Structures are given as structure tokens and as C-alpha cells.
A and B are shown apart, each in its own frame.
Chain A
Amino acid sequence: MLLAIPLLPLLGFLINASFGRRISKAAAGAVACGAMLASFAIAVASVVRLASLEPDSRAIVSRAFTWISSGDFTADFTLRLDPLAAVMILVVTGIGTLIHVYSTAYMHEETAPEYARYFSYLNLFAAFMLLLVLGSNFLVMFVGWEGVGLCSYLLIGFWFEKRSASDAGKKAFIVNRIGDFGFVLGVLLAFVRFGTIDFQQIARAAAPMSPEAGFGTISIITLLLFVGATGKSAQIPLYVWLPDAMEGPTPVSALIHAATMVTAGVYMIGRNAVLFAHAPATLTVVAVIGTATALMAGTIALVQNDIKRVLAYSTVSQLGYMFLAMGVGAYAAGIFHLFTHAFFKALLFLGSGAVIHALGGEQDLRRMGGLKRDLPITYWTFLIGSIAIAGVPGFAGFFSKDEILFRTFASGHAALWTVGLLTALLTAIYMFRIVFLAFFGERPPEPVAPAHPEEEEPAAKGGHATGPTHLAHPTHLHDAPPAMALALIVLAIGSVLAGYASLGGRFERFLEPSFAPERVEEVADRGLELTLTAVSIAAALGGIAIAAYFFLKNRRAADRMAERFAGVRRLLQNKYYVDEIYNGAIVQPIRIVSENALWKAIDVRVIDGAVNGVGEAVTGASDILRRLQTGSVRAYAASLFLGVVLILGYYLWP
């Protein structure tokens, strides 16, 4: 039965890939959504069965066949459902289904073959993602790992028109090669060290060992695996591809680049929790990188004007939180944040998609405004998503983020906790900046010259029928069509309710078998916990207040100031004073630091430069090697003979 979960989307892919040109759009969409829905149903049934098992033996194993077997080495093609995988398959199939449904409306202007092609990629992605999650050893996981990368690559480039195709997703590609290189080496080294690549066997072999004091083999293995995770999950220094990936259709961003694929790195660490627990050095690296990424991406998100880019950096930042949790050994908390994040981030992306859809491809926040009136469903659901991610009590994000921050503090990482808290504040600010800029105020008149041409989306608004070229009707905006609204509403409900899964430590207890040997001791200090919770609530609310002041109230205050030019002088001065402080002490430094230093200097120059440098070095070396091939047959003979002479010389050398 387990096999059917990835096989159904694969079947959907096969149908749409083979007959996509001949069937109608409705049929193609129905096949894709039906496959996902059926897969979701089976996933739910499997998880229910799993939950009914004894906690100690809570795993369903389905061995398809022996994949490789030679002497001492065996790798089976085996799927294994344990509580950790259960959480993931529910996310992938559940949210995946909603995004498929949403896509049927979002992509409705594509031609029939393109439409089928889109859904076939989406289904293939789901199949590989499920394989990644369900695989019981590194080899099966690697199949999924590479597969999702390929699908992501194809989907990012789905609309690439104007940019030369070989540049499309080039950055994503190079970065992921570096990550995969680390991952493969980690797996090979694990194989050398443990003689197996099965997760269970590795965990069993590692469990009795004592954690490595220094920097031993396990530390190297885990560090290499973590390099793979940074590539897939967009962490420093390999995060740069994710914002570019926003070139793809918005539902793809929601599914692949927010809810599922980018969390594969977190999942992989959770899957190997026992191994990582034995490498404290690596865990420290993971925690520090995660925290640094969370902060850095959070600051960058503050100043971006493209709505999808804000969300992309927000995703990077939230993934940083998950890695922080993994790094401090709070695996359940990290996975829980992955779970809740999938809901509200998918919701936010789909909501932004609805906005973009309504505005005919417009993605610039400065050219939005007042959408609350025209797009009520989008507004309310987006608001719920924003509240959830900001960490307001009662919504999903609060539970998981609070848990991570508490665990971080409780494990003695006060500095990381402080940065995490700061990031929570930033999260609330940038999310509500979007809310206030897009949905409140007034929409500026249509012709606005692009202030930053480099942020324009050259591809998405390309030729006819290749992008979301829905004709904009500035006066009459239509809210999300039913299929899109359905997805938004369901996800909004999830964004509220998902958090309650953890009440009373239920979520953690459910996941426990997956991380069994690494039990996190309960810190019994209720007072401390409540204090920390209060602080993080304050951060969330404070962030919303700051955003409200500067992006909502201040805009009106400025208007009022223009009217009542001779108002109370002191009040005005005071306002001016606050503006100055805001501008001089908060906005400008943050803007300068994040835009110039972090985004422009580090992001664009250093890391982009390094990535492009790798590409250029390879191309340059390639060109030299090419030019050696002069076409002269005598030169070739000389090369042949020179080879012999060189080898001879090596032997004759004393």
C-alpha cells in the first residue's frame, strides 16, 4: 500500500506526459488532481494505521525488491513509514493536492499541451518528493533528492522566454551541484564507516557510540550531509538560488520552494538525527548557520519590493529557524515548524499568486494598494497567513516558533535565542509590510516607471500565452476564482489549526520513535517557559505594531501633515523627530546594511560572484582544453607520443 503513495502521482505524470497533447485541459487537470487526491487518501489511511500501532514498533515497511546486492553490501528498494515520514507525506500529499487544485485555475490561460506539461511536471515532482520522504535508505532518498531537483529545474524554467535558456536557473543548478556533491560524499563516507546505507542500520550502529568529542569521522559525514542540506534548503552560503527560483509559476513556488522540496534538508537531518546527535561539532555549525541565515534573510526581506521575493527570503529565514532547532537537538520542534510553515507559507504564496493573478502579472509592492476591498478572500486568508507566520498566539506559527526559541534558550544557547527573537520581530515587520502595502491604502495610478529595473520580472510577463498575462482591468479586479479560493481557505484553516497538534506535547510524542535514542529532557521550569513565551509574543506584536506605524499609519500621517501644515508644532516636531529616528537610526542602517552590505555586497557580489566564478572557471578551463584541439593530425600524434615520453620519463627518473 505504501508503494501506491508515490506511484499514483507517477501514474498521473505518465498519463499527462503521454496523452497530454490529446486530452482537454479539464481532463489533464482532473487526472493530476485525482492522482494527488488518491495519494493523499492512501497517505491518510496509512498514517491512521501507523498511529494505531504500538509506539515502540511504529513503522510500516514495504519492501519492493532487492535493488543491489553484492556480497557484504545490500540496498533494498524499500519504503518505510514512520512518524517522521508520516508528517512529511501528509504535508506533501495534502498541501500538494490543494496546490494542484489551485493551479487548475491559475494556469487556465495556458494552451492545452502546456497545461498538461505543467501538471505532468508537478505530479512527477510529487512522486519524487514522496520517494525522498519514504525511502528507507540513502539510495532511495537520493533518487528522490535528484528527482525533485530536476523537476524544480524544469518548473523554474517553465516560463523562461526572454532570458537565454542556458542561463535559466543556472545559479540554482550550480549551487545544487555543490550541495549534492557534499551529499554524495557524505553518503559514500557513511557507507565506508558503517558498511551500510540504511537509515535504521546506521542509527543502530551509531547509537551505542559516545558523541564525538572532537572532529571525527561522524562529524565529517554529518557536515558533508549538511552541505547537501544547505544546497537543497537554501541556507548560507548556498541560499542564493531560491529567490531566483521565483521566476517559476507561483503555485510552483508555493509547493516546491516553500512547502516541500526546500524542507528536504531539514527532513534529512531529522531522518539522521541519531547520527547528527553524535557529532556535536556539526550540530553547532548547523545551529549557527541556521540562525545566521534566519537573521540575514529576515533583514533582506525588509527592503525587497517584489512580493514573491519577500516571501522567498522569508522562506529562507524560516528554514533557518528549522535548522536552528535541528542544531540545538530539538528535532521535533524543527519538524513541527516545518509542518506549520508548510501551511502558512503555501497560503502566503498562493495568496500572492492570487494578487498577481488579479493584477495581471504585477509583482511590485509599490504598485499595489487597497486590494482589501477588491479581493476580500485573498485579503482575509493572506492576513491569517501573515498572523500565523508572525507568531501571534492562537495561530500555527506561534506554537512552533515559540517551541524552537524555548528549546534554544533551554539548551543554553542564549545568544542564538536573542538572534532568533530578533528575527521573529523582523518576520512580523516584513510580513505586515506586505499586508499594509498591498491591501491597504490606495493603488497608485497605472503608469509607474520601474525604479529598479533589475528587479523587473522579464520573463513572467513575456509573450502571449506564456506567462500569467491576464489582462489587467484596473477598475474591475476579480477575486480568486473558486478553485483558488478553495485552496486559500483550506490552507487558512490549516494555518490556524495546525498549531494545536502540539498541545500537550502530542506532536513530539508521536515523533519520538523516529528520534528515539535522542530524548530531549523536559525542562520543568514553567516560569521560564512562560516568560520566554511572553517575550516572543511581545516580539510578534511589536513587529506588527512597527509595521502598522510605518507602512499604514505613517502614510496617512504624512497626508494629514500636508493638510494641517500649521498644527501643534511640538507634535509635528515630535513626529518629525520620530521619523528622523526611524529614518536615521532604524530604517537607514537596516536598509543600508541589508540592501547594500548584505544583499548587494554579500548576496550579489560575493556569493553570486563565487557561483558565477565556479561557472566561469569551468567554462574557461573548458575553452582552453578545446583550443588545444587544433585539428592538426600531426599535433595529435605528437600529443600521443608526448604521453608515452612523459610516462617513460617518470619511470626513468631516479
Chain B
Amino acid sequence: MPPGISTSDFYYILPELVLTAGALVVLIADVLLPRERRSALSWVTLAAVGATLASLLPFTSTHVEVAHGLLAVDRFALFFKIVFLVAAAITVLMSVRYLAIEGASPGEYYFLILCATLGMMVMAGGIDLITIFIGLETMAVSFYILAGFIKPNQRSNEAAVKYFLLGAFSLGILLYGMSLMYGLSGTTNLRVMATSFGAMAGDSRLALAVILVVAGVGFKIAAVPFHMWAPDVYEGAPTPVTAFLSVGSKAASFAMLIRIFVEGLPSASEDWRLLFWVLSIATMTVGNFAAVTQTNVKRMLAYSSIAHAGYVLIGIVAGTSRGITATLVYLMVYSFMQLGAFAVVVMLRRADVVGDELKDFSGLASRNPFAAFAMLLFMLSLGGIPPTAGFMGKFWLFSAAIDAHYYWLALIGVLNSAVSLYYYIRIVVFMYVKKETLGSEPTTSPTLAVVLAVAVAATLVLGVYPQLLFNVAAASARTLGAAGATAALR
């Protein structure tokens, strides 16, 4: 390893630097702009996200470790960074109208969105416990504030407190596990760790570390039984924040999970495979069953999001390169359909109506056919009905499980998909079959229309022509780990 940090390191973290600069510009512009022109901040934010996306271009086939192996710049990180940035851009577009209705100040909000995105990017690239931890906290602290951003709203505040307390608590557990990992291996670098753990398979101290880290990561991805914060926080937080939380935070946590377990702990893979097998089944089942009787759409989507974490874990359990590919594919696909669904919820938000109850959706098909059709598509996609992207993602996950001989897991996954349709279709029934009961129209705005159009297009295109995404995801999964660390990838 070279001593000190070289200038080339700064080149490789260019996207992160651009995003940081963008965040600072937003913060400064918020002070400089007169109050009535602050809505322009959303465009500044979008420009920052766009610039960051553009700055990813030179690194499409880079595969290096920077700064003493603190960060990896590879296709795996790149794939996730694209997911985060796209999700952030969609979230910003969704927020414009929402913030206007809530009367919240946009400056800090957009700044925090960018900070959270920055944290996610560091998490995806992190191959060292220190960077992963810092990325995680950058993201988490931003989300604590964002969840409680609507200060006059007691529910928003309650969501923030719950998220914060449980987040800090789970952080303690995660860090304790990390400290054991460090103590057992003598290093914080995951790839070095993988080699020194090579001889320690079956060690009970290692198992303890694995369990604690699983609990900490399990909290972030909202896996059962570490999931209980999710429904409350999702319901209480401002809808665009919920959307970003359920997509960005979840994807980043999965990136972290893959880095820690697949790269850092391949020797303990028997232990964590079994753990994730149990968690996957529990998460799918509890998430889907609990969603069935929900009447609040945001809360229902929260449980649905929990269930989806269970599906995604199937790919991790399979652990093969096809499994990891399926995980990446599913996270990308999931981002679009989940963000789209929340965008429709935002559409129903009016000054006097919260718009997240099931009954607010009744007769939507006749009031706004496009929004209803989009929601129909997202629901079908979340339920895994072809020809949507969600079906392709699930198909890939389940076939990866079968490929790795996890037949029961696939079976329970299919069964859960069947149960999940029950509540997804319920929304469709409310939109299409129930007649109009609400007087006023759902308000549309150009930005929301763009969000819906993008999400619809992605959900359809990735469902009908998923090949490109598969190839990209497979290429990204292949770059995972240094030469020796891919032992877990059979």
C-alpha cells in the first residue's frame, strides 16, 4: 500500500466530491436566494444529481481500491450509485409539490437528501469497516432529520424519534459486532479480513460477530424481527422521504450487506447463509401477511417493502453469482416500482386530505386514468405479474434459488407472492371497480407526471426487455471482491 493519500485517489472519488459540492451549493443558495424563489432549489439539486451521474461516466470499467483500501471503485459500486442517484432525482421531483403543500423550507430538505445520497454512495463503495460505518451514519442521520421534517406534524415527529432511537440502538449492536470482527482479524479492511478469517471457519467468536452484524444490517434492511420500526416510520415520515427511505436506504444497506458478508466473511458463509435463509422466510411471510389487513396505503407499502427485503435476501442466500445478479436486478427494478407507487400517493396529497388511505384511491380510474393505470402497473409489478419488471426480478430470484438447490425458499417465495397479490389487487379494485366517492381531482404537476412516466416506462421496459439490465447486473456482480474474496461466489 502506498503511504499517504495520492492525488489519484481524489480523481477516483470525483462523483462523491461533485455531490458534496452540489450539496454545499444548495445550502449556500438557500441562504442567498430570496424566500419566494427558493423553489428553484429543486433544480439546483437536480443539477447536482445530474452532474454526479455524469461524473460516473469515466469509471464505467474502473476496478481499483483507493485510499489504502478504504473504498473500492468498481462496477458493483457503480451499479448501486446509479440506483441511488436515480432514486434521489425521482425523490426530488416528487418533493417539489409535496413541500409546497406542507409549507416546509426546501433548502435543508434538499441538502439532506443529497447528504443521504452521499452516504449511500460511500456505503456501496466501502470495503473497510470505517468507510462503511461513516457512510451508514451520514445516510442515517440525514434520514433521522428528514423523517421528522414536517415539524408541525406530530406523526412526522413521532416517526423521527422512533427511527432515531431504534437506529442508534441498532448501530450499537452493529458496531459491537464490527469491533469483534476487528478484534478477531486485526484489520478493518474487509478484503484483508476475508483472508485472515480463512482459517477461522466454525469459530464461535466469529459466529457471535456475524450474528451481531446481521442484526445491525437486518435493522437497516428491515428484516424480521428487526423490522418493527419500518411501518411506523414509513407511515409517519413525509411521503417522498418514505419513498427514498424504502428505496435508497434499503438498496444501500443491501450493498453494505453484500460487501460485508460476501467480501469480508466468505469463510463464515455457512453461518450467515443459514441465518439469512431464516430471516428471508420470516421477512417475506410476516411482511406479506401483515400487509393484508392494512387500510393505510403508506403503511401497506411499508409492509410490502419489508416483504421485498425478504425476496431480495433469497439472492443473498443463494450466494451464487446468479443470486447476486438477481439481487442487483431486483433492487433496481424495485426502486422504480416502489418510487412510482409513492409518487401516486403524493399525487393524492392535497391541502386538506392526506391521501394515503385506501379509500382515497376509490374511483381513481375515472378521475385520473393515467395515474390509476400507473398504479395498476406498479401493483402488478410489486406482485410479480408479467409482463412487468417485478415479474422478471422475481423470476430471476426464484430461479437463482432453485439453481442453488434452495427449493423450499423458492417455494415459500412463490407462495408469498400469491398472498401479496391479495393486497396489491385490493388497491386496483378500489381504483377501478369502486365508483367515485371523493369529489376533487388528484392534483397533478409536471414534475409528478415526469416521475410517473419514468417509473411506468422503466417498469414496462425492464419487464419486456430485461436483458440489458441482466447483463449489466451480471457484470457488476462479477467485479465483486478482490481475487481471493470471491470464494463465496460459487
Q: Which residues on A are within 8 Å of B, measured CB to CB?
A: 17-18, 20-21, 65-71, 73, 77, 113, 117, 139, 142-143, 146-147, 150, 153-154, 157-158, 160-161, 165-166, 168, 173-174, 177-178, 180-181, 184-185, 188, 191-192, 466, 618-619, 621-623, 625-626, 629, 631, 633, 635-637, 639-644, 646-648, 651-652
> Are B467 and A66 in contact, CB atoms less than 8 angstroms apart?
yes
Which of A70, A181, A641, A643 is packed against the most chain B CB atoms within 10 Å? A643
Where chain B touches its partner, the secondary structure class is helix
How far, in Å, is A467 (CB) from chain B's closest CB? 12
> Are B204 and A191 in contact, CB atoms less than 8 angstroms apart?
no
Q: Name the one of A143, A146, A625 contacting B290, with C-beta atoms under 8 angstroms.
A: A625
> Are A17 and B225 in contact, CB atoms less than 8 angstroms apart?
no
> Are A626 and B385 in contact, CB atoms less than 8 angstroms apart?
no
> Are B226 and A640 in contact, CB atoms less than 8 angstroms apart?
yes
Name the interface residues of B425-482: CB closer than 8 Å to any CB of A: 425-426, 429-430, 432-435, 464-467, 470, 474
- The chain A residue with its CB closest to the CB of B278 is A647
How far, in Å, is A127 (CB) from chain B's closest CB? 11
Q: Name the one of B166, B290, B396, B464 contacting A636, with C-beta atoms under 8 angstroms.
A: B166
Q: Name the one of A147, A160, A631 contacting B232, with C-beta atoms under 8 angstroms.
A: A631
Q: Which residues of B contact A20 (CB under 8 A)?
A: 369
Write 20 A-B pairs (CB below 8 A) sorted by A numbering: A17-B373, A69-B470, A70-B474, A73-B399, A117-B365, A143-B386, A150-B385, A168-B429, A180-B418, A188-B402, A619-B292, A622-B291, A623-B293, A639-B225, A640-B170, A640-B215, A640-B228, A643-B226, A647-B215, A651-B211
List 15 other contacts, CB 8 Å, given A188-B414, A633-B165, A651-B204.
A67-B464, A142-B386, A153-B425, A168-B433, A185-B411, A191-B402, A618-B419, A622-B293, A626-B294, A629-B290, A635-B228, A643-B218, A643-B226, A648-B208, A651-B208
Q: Name the one of B214, B292, B366, B474 contacting A113, with C-beta atoms under 8 angstroms.
A: B366
> Are B162 and A633 in contact, CB atoms less than 8 angstroms apart?
yes
B286 at the interface (CB under 8 A from A): yes
> Are B414 and A185 in contact, CB atoms less than 8 angstroms apart?
yes
B84 at the interface (CB under 8 A from A): no
Q: Which residues of A contact B166 (CB under 8 A)?
A: 633, 636-637, 640
> Are B433 and A150 in contact, CB atoms less than 8 angstroms apart?
no
How far, in Å, is B98 (CB) from chain A's closest CB? 25
How far, in Å, is A475 (CB) from chain B's closest CB? 34
Q: Name the one of B212, B229, B232, B386 contacting A146, with C-beta atoms under 8 angstroms.
A: B386
The answer for the CA separation of A117 and B372 in the assembled complex, in Å, is 13
Q: Which residues of B contact A618 (CB under 8 A)?
A: 289, 292, 419, 422
Q: Which residues of A contact B289 (CB under 8 A)?
A: 618, 621-622, 625
Instruction: Give the size of the chain B interface in residues (CB under 8 angstroms).
Output: 69
Q: Name the one of B204, B275, B294, B474 contacting A647, with C-beta atoms under 8 angstroms.
A: B275
Q: Which residues of B contact A154 (CB under 8 A)?
A: 432-433
Q: A70-B470, A161-B435, A636-B228 are in contact. Are A181 and B215 (CB under 8 A)?
A: no
B10 at the interface (CB under 8 A from A): no
The answer for the CA separation of A639 and B225 in the assembled complex, in Å, is 6
Q: Which residues of A contact B212 (CB under 8 A)?
A: 644
- The chain B residue with its CB closest to the CB of A73 is B399
- The chain A residue with its CB closest to the CB of B401 is A188
Q: Which residues of B contact A178 (CB under 8 A)?
A: 418
> Are A643 and B215 in contact, CB atoms less than 8 angstroms apart?
yes
> Are B232 and A629 in contact, CB atoms less than 8 angstroms apart?
yes
> Are B169 and A637 in contact, CB atoms less than 8 angstroms apart?
yes
> Are B386 and A640 in contact, CB atoms less than 8 angstroms apart?
no
The answer for the CA separation of A117 and B431 in the assembled complex, in Å, is 13
Q: Which residues of B contact A68 (CB under 8 A)?
A: 392, 395-396, 466-467, 470
The answer for the CA separation of A278 and B247 in the assembled complex, in Å, is 47
> Are B421 and A177 in contact, CB atoms less than 8 angstroms apart?
yes
How far, in Å, is A78 (CB) from chain B's closest CB? 14
> Are A166 and B429 in contact, CB atoms less than 8 angstroms apart?
yes
Q: Name the one of A157, A184, A644 contacting B433, with C-beta atoms under 8 angstroms.
A: A157
Q: Which 5 A-B pairs have the closest CB atoms?
A: A643-B225, A622-B292, A157-B433, A636-B228, A625-B290
Which of B165, B387, B474 is packed against the most chain A CB atoms within 10 Å? B387
> Are A160 and B433 in contact, CB atoms less than 8 angstroms apart?
yes
Q: Which residues of A contact B470 (CB under 8 A)?
A: 68-70
- The chain A residue with its CB closest to the CB of B294 is A626
Per-position binary interface string of chain B over residues 257-294, scored 1 when its CB falls under 8 Å from any chain A CB and 0 otherwise? 00000000000000000010000000000100111111
Per-position binary interface string of chain B over residues 160-176, scored 1 when its CB falls under 8 Å from any chain A CB and 0 otherwise? 01100110011001000
How far, in Å, is B200 (CB) from chain A's closest CB? 15
B380 at the interface (CB under 8 A from A): yes
B133 at the interface (CB under 8 A from A): no
Q: Which residues of A contact B229 (CB under 8 A)?
A: 636
- The chain B residue with its CB closest to the CB of A646 is B225
The answer for the CA separation of A82 and B6 in the assembled complex, in Å, is 66
How far, in Å, is A639 (CB) from chain B's closest CB? 5
The answer for the CA separation of A192 and B406 in the assembled complex, in Å, is 12
